[in-house]
Amino acid sequence: MMVQNPDVVIVGAGAAGIGAGLELMRLGISHIILEAKQRVGGRAYSDTSSLGHLWDHGAHWLHSGDVNVLRFMAEKLKHKFRPENPAVTSFRSFIGGQWKVSEFDTDYVWIKLEEIVQAGRNGSDVAAESVLDRGHAMYPLLRHWCQLIYSKDPSELSTRDAGNYSDSHVNLPVEDGYGALAARLSHGLPIRLGITVNAVEVTGQGVRLETGSGTVTAKACILAVPSRIMEKQRIAITPGLPAALQRAFADVTMGYGEKVALGFDRRVFEGFEIPFANVFDPVAPETRPLNFELHPFGRPIAVAHVGGSVARELAAAGAEVMTGFAIDTLVKAFGADIRQRIVASAVTGWTMDEHIGGAYSGAAPGKAEARKVFSEPVHDRLFLAGEHVHRHYMATVHGAYETGLDAAHKAAAVLLFRWGKRPPVAAQLNSWTFRRRLPISAGIMLNPQPVGTSIYAVE
């Protein structure tokens, strides 16, 4: 039976909300997860219907896969992903009318991307654009990749924020779908779908949430929603967000990212052994570069990626324009005959999604330190979770998940003090997940006890 007035209410059933829910369940703390959408996963969504083959609308890669907690959970669930890291040399570019695997061209883009990171790690918090050469022939392709990685244009991106990201350079695409993995992890959690939270009020006794389906009260609340929702104050907070937090949401905003997926009547890229391709004409730099993933895991599909201002503009133009752009670009590289092989198409809609509003977060130049504010409790009862909260794994699913764990610990600490004793079940810190990484909040370490059967191993 669904708990109606639990100890903790979690708003949002994306990775952060799922992580918080799993941890509260493990601690034996009553909770409920309210999700506005009719599905779980947030920005991790696996689609199997639009093309007849699985493809991820959002998150697709286990970033820093050698230390990514969700990678180990996927292994436990036998949820398939590519176990080895695709090499940088697996990128090929159609430049100036011909295919090239050019060390110079490839290295230029990746070297310059690394220079953005190093500038930040050296203490510089300036626009990424300021460390790049806008006059270079390959700048449009570099800008394109910056938009894909950070969901923002180089002029909008803080070098310090980029430098704060912890990257092991092991990136593993999820064959069975990242969104599908999130859905499996959520199994058994007390989730109510289609419930929009309109307002949260902090009271003397706890919190009161006004939803489209009535009022819910609790002792604490975890807001595991995209930062755009908080930035635009789509959930009214009483007595209001602290001024520092309002500034942080203005300084660390969500960028934009979209995909166009094309389905073919058969595998059309046979003989094209490299699964990733850039299409770009440096002689006509006003033309937009475009990156494709071709036949992922052998499926007869191609997925095009856009980010930053390009994604925002195309999303505003609509699905027909987005699809036409992807097909026209593909034709430049593979010829007009490929049009005849297309039997299905689909586009993402993150920018216009009222419950999401974009891709992932990035700090404005000079504002990287603003992320610190997101991890602070709000009015002692509200706790934020999501990729925007993580200072080193921002813009990732596992980063969001980890902040959910941390928020659960903070909520548990509040309950501990209110009860004047430990929560009903002390934290079981020797589980296989937490042997790798355990964020501890509020200076409290709950007593470790043996684990019987880990919920993480249960489908």
Over the stretch 330-347, which tens digit does the pLDDT of each residue have? 999 999 999 999 999 999
Q: Looking at residue 424, what is its pLDDT? A: 45
pTM (two decimals): 0.90
Q: Where in the chain is the domain with CATH 3.50.50.60?
A: 8-43+178-253+358-457
Whether the pLDDT of residue 391 is over 90: the answer is: yes
Q: Looking at residue 273, what is its pLDDT? A: 60
pLDDT in tens, 186-207: 999 999 999 999 999 999 889 9
Cβ atoms of residues 448 and 438 within 8 Å: no
Question: Residues 42-71: what's their mean pLDDT?
Answer: 98
Whether the pLDDT of residue 101 is over 60: the answer is: yes
Nearest alpha-carbon partner for 411 in 402, 400, 423, 397: 423
**CB-based burial label for 321 (10 Å; 0-12, 13-18, 19+):** middle
Q: How far apart are CA 386 and CA 243, in angstroms?
A: 20
pLDDT in tens, 119-147: 999 999 999 999 999 999 889 999 999 99
pLDDT in tens, 426-443: 343 333 333 333 333 322
Question: Residues 268-283: what's their mean pLDDT?
Answer: 79
Q: How far apart are CA 77 and CA 228, in angstroms?
A: 32
Is the Cα torsion angle 420, 425, 428, 431 positive or negative in sign? negative
Question: Residues 250-255: what's their mean pLDDT?
Answer: 99
Q: Looking at residue 431, what is its pLDDT? A: 33
Q: Domain 86-168+257-347 is in which class?
A: alpha beta
The token pair at 322 is 């987005």
**Which band of pLDDT confidence, cut at 50, 70 and 90, is reported for residue 277?**
confident
The token pair at 449 is 């006890």
Q: Domain 8-43+178-253+358-457 is in which class?
A: alpha beta
Instruction: Say what percent of the chain tops pLDDT 90.
Output: 77
Q: Where in the chain is the domain with CATH 3.90.660.10?
A: 86-168+257-347
Cβ atoms of residues 148 and 257 within 8 Å: yes
**Which band of pLDDT confidence, cut at 50, 70 and 90, is reported for residue 274?**
low
**Which band of pLDDT confidence, cut at 50, 70 and 90, is reported for residue 98?**
confident
Question: Residues 267-278: what's their mean pLDDT?
Answer: 79
**Which band of pLDDT confidence, cut at 50, 70 and 90, is reported for residue 389?**
very high
Question: Residues 164-184: what's their mean pLDDT?
Answer: 96
Omega before residue 239 within 30° of 0, cis: yes
Q: Looking at residue 285, what is its pLDDT? A: 61
Whether the pLDDT of residue 457 is over 70: the answer is: no
Of the given ranges (42-56, 341-355, 402-416), which has the lowest mean pLDDT?
A: 402-416
For the chain, the average pLDDT equals: 88
Which amino acid would we find at residue 232? Answer: K
Question: Residues 222-246: what's their mean pLDDT?
Answer: 98
pLDDT in tens, 13-26: 999 999 999 999 99
Whether the pLDDT of residue 421 is over 60: the answer is: no
Question: Residues 250-254: what's their mean pLDDT?
Answer: 99
Q: How far is CA 302 from CA 98, 234, 263, in A?
A: 20, 35, 7
